[in-house]
Amino acid sequence: MANDETSTPGLGIALGGGAFRGAVHPGALKALEEEGLQPNFLSGTSAGAMVAAFYAFGTPPEKIRELAHKLRWLRISSFTLPKLGLLSNVEIGNFMEKHLGDVLLENALIPIALVAADIRTGERVVFKTGSVAEAVMASTCIPGVFTPVEVDGRLLVDGAIVENVPVSVLNEMGARVSVAIDLGSGRYRTPQGIVEVLLNAFAIAVDQTTSRQTESADVLIRPDLTGYSLMDSGNSAKLYAEGFRSATHAAEVIHKATKDAEPSSWETLEQRFRKWLKA
């Protein structure tokens, strides 16, 4: 778990969406911890938003994997017959509050930003303050599957439709080095029901823009997830291991990127001088 003393200066990690494939993320975070690479900034969309929230508030990666394994999406999501979606996503918010409490984003141990989208305007909505449960509920709200979440008069849905791996958000937060973890590689499993058909179609559409958006990342981690369902929590251990393996493989490149991004001695002296002038 990162703090000011153990984190890697300027390192930001963007966690992408991918439903139950999100179990990759805690494995990757664990590997980076062991490599001495802990983030100063976190951003997340959809499943990545949920993992980022847990991690930013101090939940160990192994515990996050356990929670992912126990999560039964269609059980915790309330069936409904609304005009705007098949299911209600309110229980996702309840799930977050059960395990984290009624916490606020601005109180996280690591600066965090979670991404949703306004379904009426198409605008990206970035949560940096306010209720964690509400932000995660909005960010994971897959359109057509879940009813939109209303926040401050806006109807919000899964941020994947605007930025599934929120690299640009890290840059806005001040990250010098951005690491993107994309769960969209590999062929999707043959769908077993209507919800999985919707999920696969949504993911395939999102993948087309994600590949362009992640080009700005300094390091891209994209494990091959061929055959892993978006809906099956039973593979969480295998996905965790794949995340660990992929991030371990990328660690050397990340170390080099962070070293190259370190300010020069002159830049450091200049920053100290500016602070002295302001004092």
CA contacts within 13 A on the Cβ side of 147: 16
Report the amino acid identity of residue 72.
Answer: R
Q: Which candidate in 7, 118, 158, 182 is catalytic?
A: 158
Report the amino acid identity of residue 186.
Answer: G
CA contacts within 13 A on the Cβ side of 196: 12
Q: Which candidate in 7, 43, 46, 178 is catalytic?
A: 46
State how far the Cα of 16 lies from the Cα of 209, in Å rounded to an integer.
13
> Residues 47, 24: contact at Cβ < 8 Å?
no
State how far the Cα of 204 lies from the Cα of 226, in Å rounded to an integer.
13
Q: Confirm whether 158 is a catalytic residue.
A: yes
CA distance to 28, 39, 266, per residue, from 246 (Å): 7, 17, 36
Q: Confirm whether 207 is a catalytic residue.
A: no
State how far the Cα of 220 lies from the Cα of 235, in Å rounded to an integer.
23
The residues that are catalytic are 46, 158
